[in-house]
Chain A
Amino acid sequence: MQTPAILRLNRSATRSVRWLRQLWAGPWTRLAFYCLLSLAACWSWLDRADQVNQFRDAQVLQTYERIAVRSVVEHFELPLWNPYYCGGMYALGTPQSRFATPFFAVSLVLGALRAQPVIAFLLLVLGMEGFFRYSRLRCGSAVGSAMAAPLFALSGFYAVAYFNGWLNFFGFLLIPWVLWGFYRALRGQLRGVVWTGIWLATIIGFGGTYAGPIGVLLMGIEVARFFVERPLNTSSARCVVTYLALTFGVVTALCAFRLWPVFETLYASPRIMAGTPSLSLGSLSGMMFTTAAPTASTAGRAGYFFLGVLPLVLALPGLRGKRAVVLLVGVVFSLWTATGYTTFGPFVWLRALPIYETFRNPERFLFVTGFFVVQLSAQGIDRLICASRKYIAGRWLVLAAVGLVLSTYGLQLVNYHRTGRAMTMAAPPRAVAGPFKQARGNRWVLIQFEPMERGSLSCFEAYPVVMSAELRGDLPREAYLVPSDGGQVTPVHWSPNRLEFRVTAHAPVSLIINQNWHQGWGSTSGRPISYLGLLAVELPEGNHHVSLRFRPKSALGGVLISLTALAVLGFLVATRRRIGGSGLLSVGNILVSSIVASAIAGGIAAIAIDEAPVPPPILRNANRAPALVDQLPDGVRSRAVTLNNSIQLIGARAEVNRENNDIVDVELYLRIKRTVPRSTVLLVELIGPAGQIVRSDHQVLAASLFFDEVPATRIVRDAFSVYLNGDRRGEWQLRVGLADGVKGGGRRVFSAGATGAPPTNVTELLTFDVGTGQRK
């Protein structure tokens, strides 16, 4: 028997649940709620929207955006070349720059600094709505997906990303949109294919160096989900294969504007990522379940992907059925991946694949874990909504779930606020007018140089930017002639993509510009050449007006391909809508037409645009010595040490550094005859007169090549130096050996282990004497 009070409570619970369902049914109320939450998340960033983030990565990424804005606003040029960093770099080919999306319009209107929180807000709202739409595809009611969506978008990942200035990481928020489109594409919907391409292109255009590849991985999981959820038969498999091929073609065409420049850049200067990053489950749970504790200089690991414990509680009711099993498997696999090399698992396997081989931080796979956990939470709320239709208790459980969700929003917003407040910000430097000049610069305070019209030669990027060693930061003029008495040069025009000079040459001369050469530069006086890596034009005797323009084939061709694909798709889809879709306007024909048209456009661009071929990578040691040689240089002692069946050490040199006798310079010359595992590690030990051991093991030879990349016909010169601390006088022995860097649970294998005893698989190579010379 229920008392009137209980009855009243139950009635109000029923009303509340009904109201809840009504509230989430309409798109505008949902979007309004997402806007309010996103505004609250961005508030601490908005407070200092006019200030500069002082974190080192932020300085570089902000500078990219500022230069892109200036190229358009001040020079009316596309942001293709950035002369302000590293001596000049291909802006569109820089993987982390984020201006190649519609969000750039916000930067153009508000300026690069003030646009940042606005773009973050837009992406947060988009992320919530995208998650809602994707999750809704598999949920019976809108409430679960709608309420769970902010849990995904308000995770600590984005708070930390903003702290570090990694606004390009907000591209992760668009992944649900990619999957939403792909879900439809797998079910034979034309619009699904197009949306997949558009959202993936947006992610890549926004500098999605991690979001793009992880999004593609999740597309693979989406294919697996498709087959789990549907009975597998020949016709569905054929349909999926067809649509996969079409999606691949359309995605490639729509992303070409960015992929072509980026792949070209990374071909010429590949990113090398070695090491065996490992994370325990304990540290991963700290990232997910504790709020951030940032300091002025770092966001720290705690709260790196703060989601909170409550979404796990919400997920419990959702753990039923095939869909839940797939999500649970996803959670386990992504967690396993996030542990990196702790065990021989998915991260190690991924590192064997192209593109994924450059992944550095396994903890970023917590994004996938969180994504699956929040989907489970949505399913859990959904189940409670179903139960509420039948049982009074179910209604109370729904209200409890709402309480949990709101509490989690609160915690996540506190986390945002805390990281936002901890950011080290400063007023932007005041601009100083003057002509552009290269300076020695300093990448740690990069944001200071562009306002004083100085480029910074000091450079750091995630890949080895192709730079001339001849760039100078002290020249009175940024262009000069070689020979210097060959005439006069007068600058006429300067803008990032266009340089003009008047040259009076008394004899044949080279006009040298204090910027890096790139094959995308063209000139009115013949094709520019690389003069020791600098941009140069050879000129005969006489008066010349030399105009140089940066119009790289990869940018023009890539944009042409993407625009052609978009135009053909748009035209055919509009026509199909008007006259109906069959025959020539069938879905397949439309997609094939757009792919073929864009391929033709790309082919025309490749043939029609005259440009020097992309130079192969220049492989150098960390001390700048060439990595590959054809024979042993003079002075190197010939050896014939067989390290294993495939690797022979044919020469070695170890010398005390001439300028600093604490340092020993070592050169090892290796010939690799057969394929060797990539995980092979060269063990190097220097054993001192007192038995002290200095190790210098490495997996990357000559700071440029893994063992499996060394060509069999060449000799690799592996040059490195070792600092000998303490008392170093006397005879030292150099010993080398091999180990497997991934064997045995991914740990670097040393026979020495913790005991300090020398490895057993090490060959004694040579001895050298460290004298008692004066320290310089």
Chain B
Amino acid sequence: MTINQKLGYGGMAVIVGCLLVLIGRAWTVSSVDDSPGTKLTEAQQRAIGQALARREPAFRRDAERRFPGDVWSQDDHFHNLEQRWARRVAAKHGVPLIEVLRAIDEDLRTNKRTDPLRRATAAPCKPRPFYD
């Protein structure tokens, strides 16, 4: 066997090894589940849904001032405020974020909305033409 052949076989072995390590690692890695497995009780769900319902008009007004006359940007800014609020609430209750978002979704479906600033719709996507 020439030195080139030896190098070639060695190279192939390294490639196969790399692929095995790569796929094995990607397949088996199981990082610590840092999201608490707990769930909100129904009462907590209702309370969180209603808490956001109370905050929503203020969030919407803030968005109106920040993006006057731009309904999609207002909506998007509101959602940014909403997600920050939801993350805080999730951390406070020690539950995964999805639990808080479910509570908001449930509240929108079950409770009648009286304030026009509380909506179950979304403004159609219209990204701003300026970013710089």
Check if B30 is an interface residue, CB within 8 A of chain A: yes
Q: Min CB distance, A520 to chain B, in Å?
A: 19
Measured CA separation A23–B14 after assembly (Å): 14
- Contact B15–A35 (Cβ < 8 Å): yes
- Contact B98–A469 (Cβ < 8 Å): no
Please give, as numbers and ranges, the residues of chain B lying within 8 Å of A703 by CB-CB distance: 70, 126, 128-129
Check if B79 is an interface residue, CB within 8 A of chain A: yes
Measured CA separation A69–B129 after assembly (Å): 32
Contact residue among A29, A451, A471 (Cβ-Cβ distance under 8 Å from B98): A451
Measured CA separation A390–B109 after assembly (Å): 81
- Contact B7–A663 (Cβ < 8 Å): no
Contact residue among A22, A48, A115, A719 (Cβ-Cβ distance under 8 Å from B3): A22
Contact residue among A36, A445, A620, A720 (Cβ-Cβ distance under 8 Å from B86): A445
Q: Min CB distance, B57 to chain A, in Å?
A: 10
Check if B1 is an interface residue, CB within 8 A of chain A: no
Please give, as numbers and ranges, the residues of chain A lying within 8 Å of B14 by CB-CB distance: 32, 35-36
- Contact A26–B101 (Cβ < 8 Å): no
1/0 per residue, CB under 8 A from A, across B95-107: the answer is: 0111001101100
> Total interface residues on A, using CB and 8 Å?
97
Measured CA separation A703–B123 after assembly (Å): 15
Q: Min CB distance, B121 to chain A, in Å?
A: 6
Measured CA separation A186–B9 after assembly (Å): 36
Please give, as numbers and ranges, the residues of chain A lying within 8 Å of B31 by CB-CB distance: 47-48, 50-51, 425, 427
- Contact A469–B123 (Cβ < 8 Å): yes
Please give, as numbers and ranges, the residues of chain A lying within 8 Å of B128 by CB-CB distance: 622, 703
Measured CA separation A449–B83 after assembly (Å): 12
- Contact A460–B125 (Cβ < 8 Å): yes
Check if B47 is an interface residue, CB within 8 A of chain A: no
Q: Min CB distance, A278 to chain B, in Å?
A: 7
* Closest residue of A by beta carbon distance from B23: A118
Known A48-B29, A663-B65; judge A440-B122 contact (CB<8 A).
yes
Measured CA separation A464–B132 after assembly (Å): 19
- Contact B11–A29 (Cβ < 8 Å): yes
Q: Min CB distance, B86 to chain A, in Å?
A: 7
- Contact B127–A430 (Cβ < 8 Å): no
Measured CA separation A253–B122 after assembly (Å): 38
Please give, as numbers and ranges, the residues of chain B lying within 8 Å of A25 by CB-CB distance: 4
Q: Min CB distance, A15 to chain B, in Å?
A: 13
Measured CA separation A754–B79 after assembly (Å): 36
* Closest residue of B by beta carbon distance from A666: B69
Which among B65, B120, B125, B131 has the greatest number of chain A C-beta atoms within 10 A?
Answer: B125
- Contact B71–A459 (Cβ < 8 Å): no
Please give, as numbers and ranges, the residues of chain A lying within 8 Å of B18 by CB-CB distance: 32, 35-36, 38-39
Measured CA separation A443–B122 after assembly (Å): 11
* Closest residue of B by beta carbon distance from A425: B31
Contact residue among B4, B11, B126, B131 (Cβ-Cβ distance under 8 Å from A620): B126
Check if A462 is an interface residue, CB within 8 A of chain B: yes
- Contact A26–B11 (Cβ < 8 Å): yes
* Closest residue of B by beta carbon distance from A43: B25
- Contact A444–B105 (Cβ < 8 Å): no
Known A23-B7, A47-B31, A663-B65; judge A441-B122 contact (CB<8 A).
yes
Q: What are 18 sample pairs from A and B whose C-beta atoms fall under 8 A apart?
A: A22-B4, A25-B4, A46-B22, A51-B31, A86-B125, A110-B23, A118-B23, A274-B130, A432-B102, A445-B101, A459-B122, A464-B125, A468-B124, A474-B120, A623-B70, A624-B123, A703-B129, A720-B69
3 residue pairs, one from A and one from B, having the closest CB atoms = A721-B69, A28-B11, A721-B68
